[in-house]
Structure 1
Amino acid sequence: MSDTVERALTALLSTGGGPGARGGDGLDLAASLLAADPAADDELRRRGEGYIRLAWERGWQPADVARLVRRELRDPQARLLAELIAGEVRRYERLPARWAAQLADLGVDFTPDGGEGPAVARTRAEPYRADRFSYATAALELYLLLARLPPLEPAGPVPGTPVQQAPADGEPRMLSRIRALLAKAEATGYPQEAEALTAKAQELMARHSVDEALLADRTHRGDVPGACRIGVDAPYETAKAILLDAVASANRCRAVWNSAYGFSTVVGFGPDLDAVELLHTSLLVQGVSAMTRAEAGQRASGRKRTKTFRQSFLMAYAHRLGERLALAAEHATAEAARAAAGAAAGAGAESGSGLLPVLAARDLAVAERTDRMFPETVATRVRGVTDAEGWDHGTSAADAADLPAARRGRTGRDRLRPGR
């Protein structure tokens, strides 16, 4: 171990402050020590990879850390973070599900161990280059943030653990079809075409989720709820969190917002989590586009209160969509239950083999998993809507929005509820 690195980190970590603290005099001293000793570079990198591993053990995932680094630090630290993550994940034979997409968003390509050689991870961007003092300063600021990350509720297994189930190659064919339909719906300029595309996506998502629930029950597969984190970024993060909560509830999931670190944790069964991610993204794209068009019309008429208009617009959009999603979900659940009961009767099965008991059991499992992960979560009533025109435009946009996955029974308590 490099004595220089140890002395530098001791000086750095003696600095007070939270995760975003820059280090002050301790940072300058630590950077000076490292800049004067090129032989310490390899050990400095290894210590950085160790901080990445510590973040995983504390429940953080690549996207969570990257989001915080972008918010608290700067581009050099974001590039250094990608390099450290690439170096750390080379140690693993495989990664937890959903991590590949997170790494790709960070510019890190990961090839798992195929039995013929070690795993490979590479960054697509050029490595960060600077003079020695600036490089050391950027690295130490990143390390300070990583070292002070608090524990989070685990949303999946820690990579590198001895027992991990290899993820399936690619995504289910049904999900690929849904993703393609949503992309076409968002791109078209013709409302009728978008409505037809998203209606088809809604049908496929409902069918996929119900089929998965019945298959798991029939084969005693032992599925358990999982969790994923979805970024809820500024600006207007409260409205975005409310929208995500509504989407999660309509898809038999529960969402818990962590406003301090800019994400919501969504708890549910795998197919439902996939649906939440797709639907939330699609509705957010539609909402922002509608807001931009409405805002342009307001400015053309001489209006200046852009910020309050946007905030009220998105709050109304999220609130109204929550109502629509809940109604559509109740209707879709009733239709699916009647279809399942009819199929069971036609096959001579007992009436108790219907869909509703299966869904009720899954609802209970999701609720119990959420309560174990977040035993102290409280509901919050959100206020602050002050722009009547923004609210009216947002409500109209929500009424016009296509709901590609507004289906299945509504579950769970609302954790965020907008108020005027």
Structure 2
Amino acid sequence: MSTSTSSTVERAFEAALYATTDGALDTGASLLAADPAADAELARRGEEFVANAWRRGWQPADVVRIVRRELDDVHLRLVTALIRAQAPHDRPRGPRWTAQLDALGGTGAAPEPPRPPRTDRFSHATAVLELYRLLLRLPTLESLDEAAGSAGTAGEAGPEEGDRRSEPRMLGRIRALLAKAEATGFPEEAEALTAKAQELMARHSVDEALLAVRAHAATAPGACRIGVEAPYEQTKAVLLDAIATANHCRAVWNEPLGFSTVVGFAADLEAVELLYTSLLVQAGTAMTKAEAAQKAGGRKRTKTFRQSFLAAYAHRVGARLAAAAEGRTSGLSDDLLPVLASRDVAVTERLDRLFPETTTTRLRGVSDAAGWEEGARAADDAQVEARRRLG
């Protein structure tokens, strides 16, 4: 790298990254567009921005989510390429991190850094600087790095090893059942499919707890971030909180950044993610049908109807999940109850370390009685409490 190349990048950064005006951005982009030799250094500095984001607690899915929300598709392609380019130089960070990288695609080999288009270097440089400006200003988040044994799994050795190998097949069955429940047009079939999926989730959670005890494994709760997207993000956050609580997890919503952090053991985190995604799809489908019926009757207040619908849905689902969670413990064997209780304590302790101060998410803006009634009816139809008691 020549001194002039480094100087070009530094001058471009000084002009564009620490100011917010379009003129400053244009100045930095002009400097980069005029110096093709600076492209490699510009890409290298982008990888540094990505690595700094990891040090501030961000994860690949978090960065992709914030870029998608704040910028455009071109920036999303750029940041995806930077994350992939930086990954081979990073330390191992656990299976959840690896899964996020895999979701970006093409992580099997180190990719080429993003190349500027031949026809419009100025537009490319502008997009790069807009992305770097966002990465530079990311706030510090709570570190969710997976410590040794914190994945919530056991069975590194011993007779249970075969059970660990079967886990992906179990999760695949759950995903397939929920996908069918979302797609079917028959409520009875959706109810049966969702009930079966939830039964498998519950069985998997208990099996994981027992496996950890039998293997004398030093497991600890993990954590993940789940996007809570606009619109009506508050009601979605309440729904996610209810699902997490019913599945031995705890959730904390970060409203400005559009996600909730969920703390729990690995099998339970997986259940929360799957169920939240499925119930959002089911709620959206039910809301569309209810709204169409309301419009046919001459209603015009679409926004208030949707807000009230989703608020009622989240409230009713939360109440039914809480009742189901309480009822599930009555059929458990005496030796399992202390195990589950100790795991609940561990989850609470991990949550308190991550978030010493938390606030309760409350519903607001509920003003449409018809929307509330339809949302409550849709929540009833979801049959979310249909887990069998475990023994």
Do they superpose with TM above 0.5? yes
1:253–1:272 Cα contact (<8 Å) kept: yes
Answer 1 or 2: which has greater helix percent.
2
Query: How far apart in 2 are the matches of 1:401 and 1:140?
Result: 46
Q: Give the 3-state SS of the residue equivalent to 2:362 in structure 1.
A: strand
Q: Does 1:13 align with 2:9?
A: no
2:210–2:336 Cα contact (<8 Å) kept: yes
Report the Cα offset of residue 76 of structure 1: 1.4
User: Unaligned stretches of 5+ in structure 1?
Assistant: 16-21, 112-118, 159-164, 342-353, 410-420
Match of 2:184 among 169, 184, 188: 188
Counterpart of 1:27? 25
- The alignment covers a number of residue pairs equal to 371
Could you say if the C-alpha distance between residues 136 and 407 of structure 1 is closer, same or farther in structure 2, counting changes exceeding 3 Å?
farther
Query: How far apart in 1 are the matches of 2:111 and 2:327?
Result: 46
Query: How far apart in 2 are the matches of 1:376 and 1:14?
Result: 32
Counterpart of 2:343? 362
1:205–1:405 Cα contact (<8 Å) kept: no
Report the Cα offset of residue 121 of structure 1: 5.1
Counterpart of 1:291? 287
Query: How far apart in 2 are the matches of 1:287 and 1:97?
Result: 30
Could you say if the C-alpha distance between residues 128 and 292 of structure 1 is closer, same or farther in structure 2, counting changes exceeding 3 Å?
farther
2:116–2:125 Cα contact (<8 Å) kept: no
Match of 1:132 among 112, 121, 130: 121
Q: Does 1:178 align with 2:174?
A: yes
Report the Cα offset of residue 24 of structure 1: 3.0
Counterpart of 1:379? 360
2:17–2:132 Cα contact (<8 Å) kept: no
Q: Give the 3-state SS of the residue equivalent to 2:107 in structure 1.
A: strand
2:32–2:122 Cα contact (<8 Å) kept: yes
Query: How far apart in 2 are the matches of 1:397 and 1:381?
Result: 21
81-90 vs 45-54, greater mean Cα deviation:
81-90
2:195–2:387 Cα contact (<8 Å) kept: no
Paired residues for 1:341-360 under 5 Å: 341=334, 354-360=335-341
The one-letter code matched in structure 1 to 2:141 is L
Query: How far apart in 2 are the matches of 1:99 and 1:207?
Result: 25
Match of 1:44 among 34, 38, 42: 42
Query: How far apart in 1 are the matches of 2:350 and 2:262?
Result: 11
CA distances 1:236-256 after superposition (whole Å, capped 9, x unpaired): 101110100000000000000
Query: How far apart in 2 are the matches of 1:128 and 1:308?
Result: 45
The one-letter code matched in structure 2 to 1:28 is D
Report the Cα offset of residue 127 of structure 1: 6.8
Counterpart of 2:378? 397
The one-letter code matched in structure 1 to 2:309 is F
Query: How far apart in 1 are the matches of 2:224 and 2:180?
Result: 26
Counterpart of 1:350? none
Q: Percent identity between the aligned chains?
A: 64
Report the Cα offset of residue 378 of structure 1: 1.7
Q: Give the 3-state SS of the residue equivalent to 1:51 in structure 2.
A: helix
Query: How far apart in 2 are the matches of 1:31 and 1:310?
Result: 43
Counterpart of 1:257? 253
Q: Does 1:211 align with 2:207?
A: yes
Query: How far apart in 2 are the matches of 1:23 and 1:224?
Result: 47
Report the Cα offset of residue 98 of structure 1: 2.3
Query: How far apart in 2 are the matches of 1:80 and 1:408?
Result: 49
Counterpart of 2:235? 239
**TM-score normalised to the size of structure 2?**
0.88
Report the Cα offset of residue 188 of structure 1: 1.9
**TM-score normalised to the size of structure 1?**
0.83
1:76–1:128 Cα contact (<8 Å) kept: no
167-176 vs 283-292, greater mean Cα deviation:
167-176
1:201–1:405 Cα contact (<8 Å) kept: no
Query: How far apart in 2 are the matches of 1:296 and 1:7?
Result: 56
Query: How far apart in 1 are the matches of 2:34 and 2:85?
Result: 24
Report the Cα offset of residue 103 of structure 1: 3.5
Match of 2:310 among 311, 314, 325: 314
1:248–1:255 Cα contact (<8 Å) kept: yes
User: Unaligned stretches of 5+ in structure 2?
Assistant: 148-153, 157-163
Query: How far apart in 1 are the matches of 2:189 and 2:363?
Result: 35
Counterpart of 1:277? 273
1:206–1:405 Cα contact (<8 Å) kept: no
1:331–1:408 Cα contact (<8 Å) kept: yes
Q: Give the 3-state SS of the residue equivalent to 1:382 in structure 2.
A: coil
Q: Give the 3-state SS of the residue equivalent to 2:299 in structure 1.
A: coil
Report the Cα offset of residue 156 of structure 1: 2.3
CA distances 1:20-41 after superposition (whole Å, capped 9, x unpaired): xx54332121111111111101
Q: Give the 3-state SS of the residue equivalent to 1:229 in structure 2.
A: strand
2:234–2:361 Cα contact (<8 Å) kept: no
Q: Does 1:109 align with 2:106?
A: yes
